[in-house]
Structure 1
Amino acid sequence: MNENDRSDRRAQIEAAAFDLLKELGYRKTSMLLIAKRAQASNQTLYAWYRNKQELFRGIIEENGRVVREQLELGLREGHDPLQALAELGPTLLRFTTDQHAIIMNRAAVIDAAETGVLAQAIDDVGRGSIYPLICALMARLVQTQTFAPDVLPDDAAQTYVALLFGEAQLRQALGRMPPCDETEIGRRSERAFALTCKLYGAAPGRHSS
C-alpha cells in the first residue's frame, strides 16, 4: 500500500471510529466494532493503532493540525498579523466548539478516569502546540507596533482566548449549550477580535474584512 492509499485508509478508519463514538458513546465503542464499520481487519487496526485511545488521539492531533498550520502561516514574514488574528477566531471555534469537538471532549472526560490519553492529547494540542503560537502572534503584533509596546504577549493571548470562548466549552460539555453554528462563531470571533484590539492598542479599522 503506497502512502496516499495508506493515508486514505486511515482517514476511512478514523471516520468510522468517530461515527461509532457519536452513535454509541466512548465506552461502547470498541476496536472490533471500528474494524467492522470500516471493513478493516483487526490485524490492520492493531498494527496502525495499539488501542482505541491511540486511534482517537490521532483524530485529535489531525484536527489540531489545521489550526496550527493557519497560525504558522500568519506568523510568516509578509503576512499581516492583525489579519491573522481576525481569521484565527473562526478556526479556533470550529476546532473546539462544534459537535465533533463536544463529542470528543466528552470522550476525554470519560477516558480521564481510565487512561487519560485523550485528555493529554487535547492538552498537548491546545496548550502545547496552539497556545504558544497564539502568544507568538501577539508578540508579532507588539513588534509591528500594532499593539502597544508594553503589552505582554502571554497576557494578550490569555485575554483573547477568554474573550473568544468564555464558558462555552464547559456549558457544552454539560449539555447546556448547543454546538456553535457559523452565526455564533462569527459573533464570538468579531467580539473577541475587537475587544482585544481595543484593550491592547490596535485599531480595529485596520482590519479589512
Structure 2
Amino acid sequence: MSDKKQAQRRRQIESAALELLAVKGYRKTSMLQIAKRASASNQTLYAWYGNKQALFKDIIDLNGRAVRGFLKHALNEHEDPLQVLKSLGIHLLRFTTDSKAITMNRAAITDATETSVLAEAIDSVGRNEVFALICSLMDDLAKRGTFGLDLDAEDAANSYISLLFGEVQMRQALGVMLPLTEEEIHERAVRAFELTCRLYKNPN
C-alpha cells in the first residue's frame, strides 16, 4: 500500500473510531468494533496503532496540526502578529470546541483513571506545542512595540486563552453546553482579541 493510500485508510479508520466513541463511550469502544465499522482487519489496526489509546492519541495529534500549522506559518513568514492574534481565536475555538473535541475530551477524562495517555496527549498538544507558539506570538508583539516591552509573554498567553475559552470546555465535557456555532466562535474570538489588546497594547 502506498503512503498516500495508507494515510487515507488511516483517516477512514480514525473517523470510524470517533463515530463509535461518540455513541458508545470510551470504555465500550474496542479495537474489534472499530475494525468492523471501518471494514478493516483487526490485525491491521493493531499493526498500525498497537492499541486504542495509541489510535485516539493519533487523532488528537492530527487535530492539533491545523492550529500548529497556522501559527508556525505566521511566525515563520513574519506576518503582522496583531492580525495573526485577531484570527487565532477562530482557529483555536474551531479545533477545541466542536463535537469531535468534546468527544475526545470526555474520552480523556475516562482514560485518566486508567492510562492517562489521552489526557497527556491533549496536554502535550495544547501546552507544549500550541501554547508555546502563542507565547512566541506575544513575544513578537512586544518586540515590534505593538504590546508593551515589559510584557511577560507567558502571562499574556494565559490571559488570552482564559478570555477566549472561559469555562466552555469544562461545561462541554460535562454535557451542559453544545458545540459552539460559527457565530459564537466569531463573537468569542473578537471579544478575547479586543480585551487582550486593552490589557497589553502599547498606548504610544
Both proteins in one fold, TM over 0.5 = yes
> What's 1:72 paired with?
72
Matched, 1:88 2:82: no
1:78 positional shift: 3.4
| Equivalent position of 2:112 in the other structure | 112
Runs of 4 or more consecutive aligned structure 1 residues displaced over 6 Å after TM superposition: none
Structure 2 Cα separation of the partners of residues 26 and 152 of structure 1: 39
Is 1:132 the equivalent of 2:132? yes
Aligned mates of 1:56, 1:40 — CA distance in 2 = 16
Q: Which amino acid aligns with 1:19?
A: E
Any idea what the Cα deviations from partners look like across 1:99-124, whole Å, max 9, x if unmatched? 11111100000000011100010001
Question: Structure 1: how far apart are the matches of 2:110 and 2:78?
Answer: 44
Q: Give the corresponding residue for 1:24.
A: 24
**Cα drift, residue 178 of structure 1:** 1.3
SS at match of 2:10: helix
- The residue type equivalent to 2:119 in the other structure is A
Report the alpha carbon displacement of residue 24 of structure 1 after superposing the two structures with TM: 1.0
Give the TM-score normalised by the residue count of structure 1: 0.95
Q: Does 1:174 align with 2:174?
A: yes
Between the aligned partners of 2:149 and 2:176, the Cα distance in structure 1 is: 40
Shift, 1:202, TM fit: 5.2
Gaps of 5+ in 2: none
* Distance in 2 (alpha carbons) for counterparts of 1:78 and 1:101: 30
Task: Give the AA of the match of 1:162.
Answer: S
Aligned to 1:46: 46
Percentage identity across paired residues of the two chains: 59
Q: How far apart are the structure 1 equivalents of 2:63 and 2:78? A: 26
- The aligned residue for residue 207 of structure 1 is none
Deviation by residue 1:13-35 (Cα, 9 ceiling, x = unmatched): 00010111011111111000000
How far residue 77 of structure 1 moved from its aligned partner, in angstroms, is 3.7
CA distance in 1, matches of 2:201, 2:17: 46
Q: Distance in 1 between matches of 2:123 and 2:180?
A: 21
1:189-200 equivalences in 2 (<5 Å): 189-200=189-200
What do residues 40-91 of structure 1 show as CA deviations (whole Å, max 9, x unaligned)? 1111110001110000000000000110000111112431111111111011
Paired residue secondary structure (2:134)? helix
- Structure 2 residue aligned with 1:122: 122
Counterpart AA for 2:24: L
Q: Quote the Cα distance in structure 2 between the aligned partners of 1:74 and 1:156.
A: 18
Structure 1, unmatched stretches of 5+, are 204-209
How many Å apart are 1:148 and its aligned residue?
1.1
Provide the residue aligned with 2:10 in structure 1: 10
Which letter does structure 1 place at the counterpart of 2:128? G
Q: CA deviation at 1:177?
A: 1.4
- 2-side partners of 1:183 and 1:202: how far apart? 30
CA distance in 1, matches of 2:75, 2:154: 16
In the alignment of these two chains, the number of paired residues is: 203
Q: Match of 1:33?
A: 33
Q: 2:184 is aligned with what amino acid?
A: E
Q: Structure 1: how far apart are the matches of 2:12 and 2:76? A: 33
State the distance in 1 between where 2:80 and 2:201 align.
Answer: 16
User: Residue 147 of structure 2 aligns with which residue?
Assistant: 147
